[in-house]
Every structure is written in structure tokens, then in C-alpha cells.
């Protein structure tokens, strides 16, 4: 069942790409596996998934040694500075950098382990009170600051769009983030690319793909509804 779900999401991505003349190879599906047991992740891995997203450092730590070593772990949740040291050498990318202080901590811990860490800046495009992330006009100054940090590489932008029943309602949000990434790319800032646009979740990823997403984060669409009682 999970394998079927995974393949269906891939097919939907393919259809969304086809609708706007994009190559599906440009889009990476992140299987968002937060709160899900290792056995379920293994099933989706066996169906072909290699990129998994987690919200909590502890879950990455718990699952890391129990699953194949070629998984590219994505940290997609809010990251506390005191937890950075546990994951700098384990994750493929951190999607949720929204302050210079956090970037500095990543720099310090990455230098200790002699690794370069790929990060995305989290942008709260809709300016929702309940969400983390930078305002649109805060992004460029932060990119410029982080570009000076040798062990931190900005690879693009991420947003968590509002939860909507009609995915079309978020099209404008995705469009704005894409435009911002193009504007920043044009400035040719050192140690910085805008090659990754992480946007779109189960309810709206097909619209996000049409608007230029290169990573979509799908949990419910693959794993089914999450059991939030596991969070308590």
C-alpha cells in the first residue's frame, strides 16, 4: 500500500511537470516520515525512495542507524541551536534556517566535524503568525550574511504554505517564492545558489511543481494520516 502511494505521488509529479513542460527529473520527492516507525520507512525505501524528511532531531537520531546508509535525510522542522551538533554530519540538507544565530551555530558545529552543510532559508511568504520563517524582505540580507560562513552553503529557499482545501489558493505564494529565488540568483552572491525551491506538501504539491518547486515534501500522501499522540 505504501509503495503504491509513493508511486502515485511520483506519477502526480510527472503529470504536473508535463502540464507546464518541465522535466520530472528536476523535482525531488521528500517522503516526510515524521512520527512514522522504521518499518514503514523501509517499505517506502524499498519502493525506491531515498530522500526522507524529519521534523525533529531526535527522530533522525533514532532512525539513522536502523535504515540504509544511502538515505538523504532532510531536516525540515524548526531547528533549535542546541540540537545542531547532533545532525550536522548526518543530514543532506537543513530546510529551516531562519536566523543568522542558527546559521552561526551550524557553522561552528560543521567546522568541528569538517563538513559543509547545505541549507535552505525558510520564508514565511504568507506571514502567518503561527509559523517560523523570514519575511520576504529579510531574505536577501540574511543570504548575504551567511555567504561569509565557509561551512554553510545556501542552496535555495523553503516555505510552508498555509493549509488550504483548494491548492489553487497557494499558487500565488509559490509564485512569489520562485520570483524571490530568481531575484537572489541574479545577484551572484558568493557561496550561494538558488538551485533548490522546497515548497508544496500533500495538499498542494502539484501546484507547487507547476510553479517551479524542485523539492516537494509529502507525508500524508505517502504514509497516511499522522498519529499526533506519538508527539506527546
Which of 172, 175, 225 has its CA nearest to residue 202? 225
Confidence of residue 230 (pLDDT cuts 50, 70, 90): very low
Over residues 169-185, the mean pLDDT reads 98
- Say what the pTM is: 0.95
60 touches 54 (CB < 8 A)? yes
Are 133 and 142 in contact by the 8 Å Cβ rule? The answer is no
Judged against a pLDDT cut of 70, whether residue 33 lies above it is answered with yes
190 located within any domain: yes
In a domain, 232, yes or no: no
59-116 pLDDT, tens digit each: 999 999 999 999 999 999 999 999 999 999 999 999 999 999 999 999 999 999 999 9
Please give the Cα distance from 166 to 160 (Å, whole number): 15
Q: Domain range holding 102?
A: 2-223
3-state helix, strand, coil in the chain (%, to 5): 45, 20, 35
Whether 229 maps to a domain, the answer reads no
Confirm whether 139 is domain-assigned. yes
User: Is 97 inside any structural domain?
Assistant: yes
> Total domain count for the chain?
1
Q: Which CATH number covers residue 110?
A: 3.20.20.10
Split at pLDDT 50, 70, 90, the class of 226 is low
Q: How many CB atoms lie within 10 A of CB 8?
A: 12
Amino acid at each position: 500500500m505504501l509503495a503504491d502511494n509513493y508511486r502515485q505521488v511520483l506519477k502526480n509529479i510527472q503529470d504536473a511537470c508535463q502540464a507546464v513542460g518541465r522535466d520530472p527529473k528536476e523535482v525531488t520527492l521528500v517522503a516526510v516520515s515524521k512520527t512514522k516507525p522504521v518499518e514503514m520507512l523501509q517499505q517506502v525505501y524499498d519502493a525506491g525512495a531515498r530522500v526522507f524528511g524529519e521534523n525533529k532531531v531526535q527522530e533522525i537520531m533514532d532512525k539513522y542507524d536502523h535504515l540504509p546508509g544511502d538515505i538523504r535525510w532532510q531536516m525540515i522542522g524548526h531547528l533549535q541551536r542546541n540540537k545542531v551538533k547532533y545532525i550536522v554530519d548526518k543530514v543532506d540538507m537543513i530546510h529551516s534556517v531562519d536566523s543568522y544565530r542558527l546559521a552561526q551555530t551550524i557553522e561552528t558545529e560543521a567546522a568541528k566535524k569538517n563538513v559543509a552543510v547545505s541549507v535552505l532559508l525558510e520564508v514565511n511568504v504568507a506571514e502567518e503568525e503561527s509559523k517560523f520563517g523570514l519575511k520576504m524582505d529579510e531574505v536577501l540580507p540574511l543570504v548575504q550574511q551567511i555567504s561569509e560562513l565557509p561551512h554553510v552553503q545556501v542552496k535555495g529557499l523553503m516555505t510552508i504554505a498555509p493549509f488550504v482545501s483548494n491548492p489553487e489558493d497557494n499558487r500565488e505564494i509559490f509564485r512569489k517564492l520562485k520570483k524571490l529565488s530568481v531575484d537572489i540568483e541574479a545577484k551572484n552572491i558568493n557561496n550561494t545558489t538558488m538551485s533548490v525551491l522546497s515548497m508544496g506538501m500533500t495538499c498542494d504539491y502539484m501546484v507547487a511543481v507547476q510553479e517551479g518547486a524542485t523539492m516537494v515534501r509529502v507525508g500524508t500522501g505517502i504514509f497516511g494520516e499522522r498519529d499526533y499522540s506519538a508527539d506527546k
